[in-house]
Structure 1
Amino acid sequence: MDWVPVFLATFKVLVFGTGMFFAIKWHYEQGKKGKGKDKPSTVLRAGGKVAAVLVVSLLALLLFTFGLSRMLGLDMTFP
């Protein structure tokens, strides 16, 4: 049996596990300090921007897909 994949997978799990532990610990401590308090309007505005970017990205991907399929000669018309 080749031990390299076993060693690398174990190393990867240890590194990511340690990183996640310290990330969760840091975020928990920041929350206890009270620095993470945002106004609801700020959070809603940021959420709206993210949603708008997502919708525009999906629309662009849809148009690109239909354009590429038309260029390749695929029939994408509705029955």
Structure 2
Amino acid sequence: MDWVPIAFGTFKAAALLIAMFFAIKWHYDQGQKYGRQAVLRASAKVTGLFVLALLVVGGITFALSNFLGLDLTY
């Protein structure tokens, strides 16, 4: 049974690397198709939405933790 994590881990790493290669290639091709400004603008929008979502989830988590009485001090 010692070979199962090695085999599955290798398969997982290979699948992720192949998927990352094709994702980067697809995005690079889209950048060539639409132009640099449009891609940068879309990237900025996605980054902004991600940061906003991260702040909202963090705020909700903090508020819920305080509401439930969890000690959040160091």
TM-score, normalized by length of structure 2?
0.64
Report what 2:69 is aligned to.
Answer: 69
What amino acid sits opposite 1:8 in the alignment?
F
Query: In 2, Cα distance between the equivalents of 1:8 and 1:67?
Result: 42
Report what 2:9 is aligned to.
Answer: 9
Unaligned runs of 5+ in 1: none
Deviations 1:45-67 (A, max 9, x none): x83x6555444433322221111
Unaligned runs of 5+ in 2: none
Q: Which has the larger radius of gyration?
A: 1
Query: In 2, Cα distance between the equivalents of 1:5 and 1:39?
Result: 40
What amino acid sits opposite 1:14 in the alignment?
A
Report what 2:60 is aligned to.
Answer: 60
Cα deviation for residue 38 of structure 1 reads: 6.3
Report what 1:32 is aligned to.
Answer: 32
Q: More helix per residue: 1 or 2? A: 2
Matched-pair identity in %:
35
CA RMSD of aligned residues (A): 3.1
**Count of aligned positions:** 68
Cα deviation for residue 5 of structure 1 reads: 1.1
Cα deviation for residue 35 of structure 1 reads: 5.8
Q: Secondary structure at the match of 1:69?
A: coil
